[in-house]
Homo-oligomer: A and B are copies of this chain.
Amino acid sequence: MPAMSPVRTAIIGLGYWGPNVLRNFAAQGECAMVLACDRDAARRERLERQYPSVRFTADAEEIFTDASIELVLIATPTGTHAPLARRALEAGKHVFVEKPLAATVAEAEELVALAKKQKKLLFVDHTFAFAPAVEKLASLAGSQSLGDLLCFDSARLNLGLLQRDANVIEDLAVHDLSILSAIVPLETAQTVLAVGFTHFGKQIEEAHMHLTFPRGFHAHIHVSWLSPVKVRRTLLTGAKAMVLYDDAEPSEKIRVYDKGVERDAAKPDPFFPKYRSGDVVIPALATVETLSAEAQHVLRCVHGEEKPRVSGEAGLAVLRILDAANRSIASGSPVAL
């Protein structure tokens, strides 16, 4: 392979998550981190010592007007995602945005359209999709070893800090949707039915979402800030086998149950399926840092070596589903997508 020059990259937003993004992109050989922007001087100073080769600035325009910069990473508060991403795309840069892609569905739609028009890549940071356990789940789902996919059931429960600005679906279900997006394109979701409950504050603190997809596949996502027990469990059931992904397990995160029920081709009556029962396998997982794997993937996409796994469309689909879920909770009925 002919050596490709490193992707000249800039980052905007150095608050809570930004420094992690900076560190993981900067550590890749395929990346040349040239500019980092935050209005807060203290944040910049803390990082300047660690990254002597990066220039720090308070003014994002320096990034947009630097024609040499190819990729812009945006890790600012949600409300600024759309204006900053729009500006970067207009300036002809590829863009990687923290989730959620934008504050509203309309903004996200505009960004997706703009990226298409500008022929630039638009990524949303769905870190979970790059976790080794999720990659294993996705590769099993795609390998036909599970048979027809029947359902996806995910619970993300803990004793979480109640939030003022987001409800529990916006806070937590987005992770389950990231995992789900590694199995089925979220754009194909057909309906959303959601129920939600408020016990202490003003936001929804516990909720269930039911999603339907073509060919009978459906998903259930249960999220809560009120569960004393921390649960991070996803079950993917196929006709031939089932995968349990338990993120609370320190090492044995994925279990594949090689048993299931199948249509028996020899018998016309669907009432008499075949039952299979086999081993349980706990596959060894890679031990890469998730955000590092994601950064590498993004850089390779910019180089044209890989195709984006989590595009702006996925980020838009997530926003549409969250929006539909909120409307379903309000109306008590399913919402078509």
- Which residues does A use to contact B, with CB under 8 Å? 49, 148, 150-151, 153, 159, 162, 164, 193, 195, 197-202, 206, 208, 210, 216, 218, 220, 222, 224-229, 235, 237, 239, 241-242, 244, 248, 250, 252, 257-261, 263, 270-271, 273, 275, 277-284, 332-334
Interface contact A200-B260, CB-CB below 8 Å: no
Show 14 residue pairs from A and B whose CB-CB distance is below 8 angstroms, ordered by the A residue: A148-B199, A150-B197, A151-B197, A162-B273, A197-B216, A197-B218, A199-B216, A224-B237, A225-B261, A228-B237, A248-B250, A280-B281, A333-B333, A333-B334
CB neighbours of A220 from chain B (8 A): 208, 222
Q: Which of A226, A263, A333 has the most CB of B within 10 A?
A: A226
Residues of B within 8 A of A270 (CB): 200-202
Q: Which residue of chain B lies nearest to A164 when distances are taken between CB atoms in the complex? A: B271
Chain B residue with the shortest CB-CB distance to A230: B251
Contacting residue for A279 out of B162, B257, B281, CB 8 A: B281
Q: A228-B259, A229-B242, A248-B250 in contact; A275/B159 too (CB < 8 A)?
A: yes
Contacts of A200 in B (CB 8 A): 261, 263, 270-271, 273
Collect the chain B residues with CB atoms within 8 Å of residue A280's CB. Answer: 252, 281-282, 284
